[in-house]
Amino acid sequence: MAPALAGLVPDGLRRGSTVAVRGSTALVLALLAEAMREGSWAAITGMPEVGLVAAAELGVDLDRLALIPAPGAEVAAVLSALIDGFDLVVLGPAVARGIEPQLARRLAGRVRNRGAVLLAAGQWPGAELELSVSSRRWRGLTGDGFGHLEFRDVVATSRGRGAAARPRTVALRLPGPDGAVAAVEASADRRLTEVAG
């Protein structure tokens, strides 16, 4: 993981795991970018609105990304095929919400067997790691609303099972000034944490 995300997911995305990411498509894309830097292939399904320019700015390698706007009526078969063929599979919120718990368990077993990573943009029954984003604040505008959006400060929290049972909270720039994820400096981190409560 990049230093900015290491505090949130210190062991990185473990093969065979299921991860739920609530509240931030940008965080999903930043996690994909980290894995793709190491040569992984990824597929996104059920997120027809995902911005490819934003994904590329966050570091996603578009040459190793498959987009399936909607899995259709055969959700189980499509997801099984994606898990078999890709290192990372991202499910959009509507797809993740529509998965029955029994199918979720079967898919999680397939993810473990194949050594893939399933990232659900939203809730996922039995996720090993849950990430959420709060306290979003865009920077770059003046008090009267003029200027250009430069970056967004967020507070990201992770909690899960096993080694991830203790919640971790980090302040991030998502996206940062250059489009990629960045850590927030200590003084800005303190102010952001105070705002988050």
In 81-104, which positions are buried (b, 16+ CB within 10 angstroms) versus exposed (e)? ebbeebbbbbbbbebbeebeeeeb
Give Cα 148 distance to the centre of its chain.
25
Asked whether the bond before 93 is cis by omega within 30 degrees of 0, the reply is no
Q: Per-residue pLDDT averaged across 128-134, rounded? A: 94
pLDDT by residue (tens digit) across 53-112?
999 999 999 999 999 999 999 999 999 999 999 999 999 999 999 999 999 999 999 999
pTM reported for the whole predicted model: 0.87
pLDDT by residue (tens digit) across 36-69?
998 999 999 999 999 999 999 999 999 999 999 9
Q: Residue 191: is its pLDDT beyond 80? A: no
Coil/strand/helix, residue 119: strand
Taking the CB of residue 160, how many other CB atoms lie within 10 A of it?
20
DSSP string, 61-99: -GGGEEEES---S-HHHHHHHHHHH-SEEEE-HHHHHT-
Interatomic CA distance for residues 69 and 90, integer angstroms: 11
